[in-house]
Amino acid sequence: MTVAVLTSGGDAPGMNSAVRAVVFLAASRGVPVVGVERGYQGLLDRRFRPLTREVAGGLAPLPEVSVHGNLGGSMLGSARCKPFYTPEGRAQAAKNIADFDGLVVIGGNGSLAGAHALAKEHGVRLVGVPASIDHDIGCTNTAIGVDSALNTIVGACDRISDTARAHRRAFVVEVMGRRSGYLCMAAAVATAADAALFREAGRSEDELVENLANLVRRSFSGDREKQRVLILKAEGVEVPCTRLVRRVQEHIGDELEAMGASIRATVLGHLVRGGPPTYQDRAVGGRFGAVALTSLLAGKTDVMTAWSPPVAGGEATVDRHVELFGLGEVLDETERLLDGSSPVTQARVKAMARMAGVLAL
């Protein structure tokens, strides 16, 4: 038996920890592991390389697997693959991995959708592992990369707050989260931000500008002695950070100048993706990888590992915190999560609404 593993979609700190767990556990059970380079594109191009080697007494992981397990990014690489979106592309990919007995797919929504299609259309035996810093995958309480991204955002906002207090400034800081505002919401609470702007709230540009102008004016006026205002914005709010700041400046620029205050914009961008994984992402990634490999060896397919699921219906595994959900169910719940109909999303938005008055104090 030989198992293949790939990482796909946006990189997330902890992906390498999941790969390491798959390789180490497989080697301990005498199962060779092959890495697929550059995601689904690598399946089409047959870019395979061994991650285990024969040694006296059995198999051992290649040294690079251990080293990269503590690093961010992806040791196997990732890439967009438009041909894989077509039935012909998936058929070719399935043909290229016919010699393997199982596949572990580590990635986000699109990657898991591709895995589901491979399993349904061509009977490929596979297990998915959720990896997305945006925390936008259904049926799981976290995904690989979420905790590392939040720690990076918190650290950056702490530094921005230092310079903001030195100059009596307001900062609008944009963080990642194209269709999910989770990073913005969670980081706003952790950094004691004054406001959080996220797509799920459904505010218009004019509402955002008016609310921000009032917030900044109130924060810097009177006897509050406030020296810093921090506003977090998810990238899913389509109004650019710089445009928001410019429009607020147009509204209250003279007032800010009279108060000795100012407002700036900062976009963290891909900084949020990088860096070594935190303890939590190494642990979650490792436990996901171990359960994925164990499940494959037990004959499971077309399923995803999920951490302490917020929804019922999962299948228990050897890890009491990890359950298995069918990929079809995961993709359905993911869509509900992103269109706002999931109770999970609704609970997040309601919680932030309750916090709005507290954050602005």
300-333 residue pLDDT tens: 999 999 999 999 999 999 999 999 999 999 999 9
What domains appear along the chain, each with residue ranges and CATH number? 3-145+277-338 (3.40.50.450), 147-274 (3.40.50.460)
- Cα 2 from chain centroid? 29
Residues 102 and 32 sit within 8 Å (Cβ to Cβ): no
Q: Is the pLDDT assigned to residue 58 strictly greater than 50?
A: yes
Pairing of strands 52-55, 58-61: antiparallel
Q: What pLDDT is stored for residue 361 in this prediction?
A: 46
Tally of CB atoms within 10 A around 53: 12
* Distance (Å, whole) CA 243 – CA 209: 10
Q: Give the pLDDT band (50/70/90) at residue 223.
A: confident
* pLDDT tens string 116-168: 999 999 999 999 999 999 999 999 999 999 999 999 999 999 999 999 999 99
Q: What pLDDT is stored for residue 82 in this prediction?
A: 87
Average of pLDDT values for 105-123?
Answer: 96
Q: Is the pLDDT assigned to residue 268 strictly greater than 50?
A: yes
What helix, strand, coil percent values describe the chain, rounded to 5?
Answer: 50, 20, 30
Q: What pLDDT is stored for residue 169 in this prediction?
A: 96
Question: Residue 176 has which token pair?
Answer: 């990642």
What is the residue whose two structure tokens read 């400046």? 249
182-190 vs 146-167: helix crossing angle, rounded to 10: 50
* List of residues 6+ apart from 112 with CB closer than 8 A: 105, 128, 130, 137, 304, 327, 330, 331, 334
Q: Find, among 72, 75, 9, the residue nearest to 40 by Cα.
A: 9
Average of pLDDT values for 192-215?
Answer: 93
Q: What pLDDT is stored for residue 6 in this prediction?
A: 97
Average of pLDDT values for 291-304?
Answer: 97
Q: What pLDDT is stored for residue 311 in this prediction?
A: 93
* Distance (Å, whole) CA 351 – CA 299: 41
Active site residues: 134
| For the chain, percent of residues with pLDDT exceeding 70 | 99
Q: Is the pLDDT assigned to residue 229 strictly greater than 50?
A: yes
Q: Is the pLDDT assigned to residue 358 strictly greater than 90?
A: no
* Distance (Å, whole) CA 246 – CA 262: 11
What is the residue whose two structure tokens read 């944009």? 174
Handedness of CA 326, 130, 10, 7 (dihedral sign): negative
